[in-house]
């Protein structure tokens, strides 16, 4: 509404105080009244207010859009945060049994990078990609062949640029339907069927709070590697020998089922946590974006008012000097 008032004021002045000398009071051509913006060079002041007005309008729209995106992200975060926190107990028994050996030395490492499909979520996808590249570097050596399985479009785009030959499988649009365990376990099953692995390293952003996300890597070992470690008798896995296997199956078969189950549980938690982190990061990115837009808008408003007032002052001084010149 203030904008409309300013616009009206602008229009009111332009026809009354035409930029030409007062003596030439002949009626100016009407087009100049209708489009005060496209005035002669003397009227440069009106043009700049229009330019500034346009900028202000677009910045205000950006602010509205980012605020709306933030609200949407906040509501999605609320819903998914509860599920992520409930699923946190899922991987703990596996670590209690098998321990955590991220630095284990194996030939076939598969790095599963979990990322988002949509952008505008801050730096979380870049963090995951950098970590994955770091893990690749850590695990590459003479006989080792590390591979990527990429979940999510954003990481795929970044990794395809320089590590195309290492990417084995890409999965996208995971979050199109709300996440549930069945879907993720089918996905985990697919990955296990299509990729040979000795160790799976799942890279994701763990949700700590709305403003902090912790890059994490979870390791799942294949049954053969677990067997090898049990036989070597060192570390947590060495103690696995003392566990009796209930039932007729051998330890190898049980470990096979265990590895698959562990992978699907860890994937489920990882995907949920990453989705939470994505929403949280989007909230803070959109929040800082609307704040910045607000600041730009303040600055533009000041410029606009300054320009407008300068124009008015110039007109006034012209009239006054013209009038005093006439009086003598």
Partner 1 sequence: MFRHAAKNLLLRRPVPTTSAAGAAAARAPSRTFSADAPAAQTADAGFVEAWKKVVPNIDPPKTPLSFMEPRPATPASIPSKLTVNFVLPYASELSKKEVDMVIVPATTGELGVLPGHVATIAELKPGVMSVHDGNEVTKYFVSSGFAFVHANSFADIIAVEAVPLDRIDASLVQKGLAEFTQKVNSASTDLEKAEAQIGVDVHSALNSALTG
Q: Which positions lie near partner 1, rule CB under 8 A?
A: 70, 74-75, 77-78, 81, 83, 85-97, 99-103, 130-131, 134, 137-138, 181, 185, 203, 206, 208-211, 214-219, 235-236, 242-249, 254, 257-258, 261, 265, 268, 280, 283-284, 287, 291
In this structure, what token pair is assigned to residue 294? Answer: 């607000």
Q: Output 292 or 301, the one with its CB closest to partner 1.
A: 292
Give CA–CA dist 139/108, Å, rounded: 9
Q: Output 121 or 311, the one with its CB closest to partner 1.
A: 121
What is the DSSP code (8-state) at residue 123? T
CB of 77 to partner 1, least distance (A): 6
CB of 298 to partner 1, least distance (A): 14
CB of 172 to partner 1, least distance (A): 23
Give CA–CA dist 209/213, Å, rounded: 7
Contacts of 63 (CB under 8 A, 6+ apart): 290, 293, 294, 297
- Contact at 8 Å (CB) between 189 and 98? no
Closest-CA residue to 235 (of 246, 221, 249): 221
Give CA–CA dist 12/189, Å, rounded: 73
CB of 158 to partner 1, least distance (A): 15
Q: Output 45 or 154, the one with its CB closest to partner 1.
A: 154
CB of 118 to partner 1, least distance (A): 19
Q: Output 64 or 88, the one with its CB closest to partner 1.
A: 88
- Contact at 8 Å (CB) between 184 and 165? no
Q: Output 172 or 183, the one with its CB closest to partner 1.
A: 183
């Amino acid at each position: 509404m203030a904008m409309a008032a300013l616009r009206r004021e602008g229009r009111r002045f332009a026809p009354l105080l035409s930029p030409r000398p007062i003596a030439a009071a002949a009626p100016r051509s009407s087009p100049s009244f209708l489009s005060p913006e496209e005035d002669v060079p003397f009227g440069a002041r009106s043009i700049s207010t229009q330019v500034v007005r346009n900028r202000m309008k677009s910045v205000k729209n950006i602010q509205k859009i980012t605020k709306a995106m933030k609200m949407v992200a906040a509501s999605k975060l609320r819903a998914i945060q509860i599920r992520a926190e409930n699923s946190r107990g899922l991987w703990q028994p596996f670590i209690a049994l098998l321990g955590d050996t991220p630095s284990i030395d194996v030939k076939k490492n598969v790095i599963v990078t979990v990322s988002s499909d949509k952008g505008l979520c801050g730096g979380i996808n870049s963090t995951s990609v950098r970590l994955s590249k770091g893990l690749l570097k850590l695990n590459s050596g003479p006989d080792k062949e590390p591979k990527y399985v990429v979940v999510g479009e954003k990481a795929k785009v970044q990794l395809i640029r320089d590590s195309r030959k290492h990417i084995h499988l890409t999965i996208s649009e995971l979050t199109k339907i709300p996440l549930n365990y069945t879907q993720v376990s089918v996905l985990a099953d697919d990955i296990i069927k299509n990729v040979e692995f000795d160790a799976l390293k799942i890279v994701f952003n763990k949700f700590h709070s709305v403003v902090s996300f912790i890059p994490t890597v979870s390791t799942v070992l294949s049954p053969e590697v677990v067997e090898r470690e049990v036989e070597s008798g060192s570390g947590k896995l060495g103690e696995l020998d003392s566990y009796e296997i209930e039932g007729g199956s051998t330890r190898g078969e049980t470990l096979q089922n265990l590895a698959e189950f562990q992978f699907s549980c860890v994937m489920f938690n990882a995907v949920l946590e990453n989705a939470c982190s994505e929403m949280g990061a989007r909230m803070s990115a959109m929040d800082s974006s609307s704040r910045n837009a607000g600041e730009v808008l303040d600055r533009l408003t000041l410029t606009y008012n300054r320009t407008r007032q300068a124009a008015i002052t110039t007109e006034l001084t012209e009239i006054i000097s013209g009038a005093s010149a006439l009086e003598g």
